[in-house]
Structure 1
Amino acid sequence: MIKKQVFVLAYEQTEAIVLRKVDFSESSRIVTFLTPCRGRLTCMAKGARRKGSPLATLLDTYNRLEITCAWKDSRQVQLLTEAALLDSYGALKGNVESVVCAAFLLETAGLAAQENNPAPEIYNTLRAGLEQIAANPDTPFTHVVHGVFAVLEAAGFAPNTEDAFFAEQTRRLAQKERDALHESIDALASGGLPSEPERIFNIIRYLKSAVVYHFERPLKSYPFLESMFPNQECTQSGTLLRK
């Protein structure tokens, strides 16, 4: 007697932040979320591309949602069955600098989290970072520094001014700029914001290098962010932080 295989679907509900989405067919999209319980989670959103589908706006990048998916261990892409909006970070999306800073933070968190592996600290850090960028449209660069530092810390790669990586990345800086960066990173490690905002772009360069080094992936969002750096802030005493 041949036994039939029975596949049981489990339905899981969780908070999720939309990391990215790609078109899959004429009517569907594949969406990657960051969730506290599953880390990076990839779902098929059937009908998301159809005209009038509520999923079209719900699955906008950066949106924080409550989602339900039909889970099957044997597949890598799960099926999204429901989604409800918790926060769209509308204030963030209305400011170009805020959007670009948020993209840098979002991509960093996506690299830091593993697929189908709990990442509550990284999720909560990303959520807090997006909230801060949205609430402070005049200082998005300052708050993305705090957010990216916190993501690295949550992933176990907290920047350390005493290690060889810091020495290598700052060896071309004049002593004054190196000391300023050292002080700013120490301030971030203590939960504060950089003490010298005029040097914020060198700090961003350093954090970008740390992200690429630890996660061994290029950051697609970074060139857009760097294009917004004022020229006078990229250069300090004729020296640049190594890219």
Structure 2
Amino acid sequence: MDAFICAGMMIIGRGISRGCIGARTTCLPGWAGVASSRRRNRHRVESSARRPFGKRLERFGVEQGMALIKDEAVVLRRLDFSESSQVLAVFTRAHGQQRVIAKGVKRATRQRASVGIDLLERGDIVFSQRPGGEERLSPLTEWRQLDHYPHLRADLARYYAGLYAGEAVAMLTEAHDPHVGLFDGLRKYLADLSSDEPGLLLARFLWLLLTEIGLQPELSVCTSCRRLVTEDRVLYFSSRSGGAICRDCEPASIEKFQLSVGATKITRGGPTDARGVRAALTMLDYHITEILGRPLRAARSMHATVVKSVSGGG
């Protein structure tokens, strides 16, 4: 069931009261006083309505001059800011990665339990942002859940495949830098994890991610001598060199590791055999680790679950 978190003018404009909140609607704490029932507190609502609308928004973190931005988003990272609030890193379709603060989102009421917003949840988002204040936390004013991908919580390999992809997007994309193709790919990837092989899907998505940000490795030719490489020859991979290295050129490279058979098939839509999928995941994880200077937090769990779950893995 959708969870709908609304604040700001959504509640004031529609006059939503505490008594009319249903299972699909949740109001951020603090708005009940502004939008309380006229039958219970008519004088308070009428006096509030006489004040300028911007003044009524200031007490909830939305100040005059702050634009309300609507988009679709996936939650990449989540941090409990207090007992009732969360700080979220979300990847939006049209505005790139954003950091928002959801005040009071975890506070329980008579109508709902204290659940907050979960990782890898997708929804319609509205947040406010002051012109020139893009580096600050943006107040979240509305969140309407579109999908929480329950299949991720039912299988450990699919869960860590989702977590690894989400962390990779969070670490490798810049704030306020939109990638529409990457967002659509992430949305499809999370949905496809319900049925397809998580290892194969993760390898293909990571290749899409690296391609979108311009960091995909060169695997068709040796990055040193530029000769075509073939699967039947011994190949090495160097992240600093930007891709594959043939056997003749590898002695001059310090940072490298030997590629397993099938890893380079990722450039042609991804390997389909178990050995190739495991080789591609190992190579892509190594490349991401070298780019960031450290492994992703979900890397160890991904290898222990996703890689081992590939058909034929032990």
What TM-score results when the alignment is normalised by the length of structure 2? 0.63
Identify the residue that residue 102 of structure 1 maps to in structure 2. 162
Identify the residue that residue 222 of structure 1 maps to in structure 2. 299
Identify the residue that residue 181 of structure 1 maps to in structure 2. 263
Cα separation, 2, equivalents of 1:151 and 1:69: 25
Identify the residue that residue 202 of structure 1 maps to in structure 2. 279
Cα separation, 1, equivalents of 2:304 and 2:288: 18
Q: Secondary structure at the match of 2:105?
A: coil
Identify the residue that residue 85 of structure 1 maps to in structure 2. 145
Identify the residue that residue 237 of structure 1 maps to in structure 2. none
Shift in alpha-carbon separation, 1:58–1:110, aligned structure 2, 3 A: same
Cα separation, 1, equivalents of 2:177 and 2:64: 23
Identify the residue that residue 92 of structure 2 maps to in structure 1. 35
Whether contact under 8 Å (2:270, 2:277) holds in the other structure is no
Q: Which has the higher contact order (CA 8 A, sep 6+)?
A: 1
Identify the residue that residue 132 of structure 1 maps to in structure 2. 192
Cα separation, 2, equivalents of 1:121 and 1:233: 32
Whether contact under 8 Å (1:12, 1:69) holds in the other structure is yes
Cα separation, 2, equivalents of 1:195 and 1:67: 37
Structure 2 letter corresponding to 1:37: A
Q: Structure 1, unaligned stretches of length 5 or more?
A: 1-5, 235-243
Deviation at 1:54, TM superposition (A): 6.2
Q: Secondary structure at the match of 1:193?
A: coil
Structure 2 letter corresponding to 1:83: W
Shift in alpha-carbon separation, 1:203–1:34, aligned structure 2, 3 A: same
Q: Structure 2, unaligned stretches of length 5 or more?
A: 1-62, 224-240, 246-252
1:57-72 to 2 correspondences below 5 Å:
57=115, 59-72=117-130
- Structure 1 residue 13 and structure 2 residue 90: aligned? no
Whether contact under 8 Å (2:125, 2:143) holds in the other structure is yes
What TM-score results when the alignment is normalised by the length of structure 1? 0.80
Shift in alpha-carbon separation, 1:215–1:171, aligned structure 2, 3 A: closer
- Structure 1 residue 212 and structure 2 residue 293: aligned? no
Identify the residue that residue 258 of structure 2 maps to in structure 1. 172
Cα separation, 1, equivalents of 2:114 and 2:184: 25
Structure 2 letter corresponding to 1:94: A
Deviation at 1:14, TM superposition (A): 0.4
Of 76-85 and 208-217, deviating more is 208-217
Deviation at 1:68, TM superposition (A): 0.5
Of 78-87 and 212-221, deviating more is 212-221
Instruction: Tell me how many residue pairs correspond in the alignment.
Output: 218
1:114-125 to 2 correspondences below 5 Å:
114-125=174-185
Q: Secondary structure at the match of 1:166?
A: strand
Q: What's the CA shift string for 1:26-80, capped at 9, x where partnerless?
A: 2211111001222110111011221248695462111111010111132510000
Structure 2 letter corresponding to 1:212: T
Identity of aligned residues (%): 21
- Structure 1 residue 142 and structure 2 residue 200: aligned? yes
Q: Secondary structure at the match of 2:263?
A: helix
Flag the structure with larger Rg: 2
Q: What's the CA shift string for 1:60-115, capped at 9, x where partnerless?
A: 11111101011113251000011101111112221111001111111111122211
Deviation at 1:215, TM superposition (A): 3.9
Shift in alpha-carbon separation, 1:8–1:55, aligned structure 2, 3 A: farther
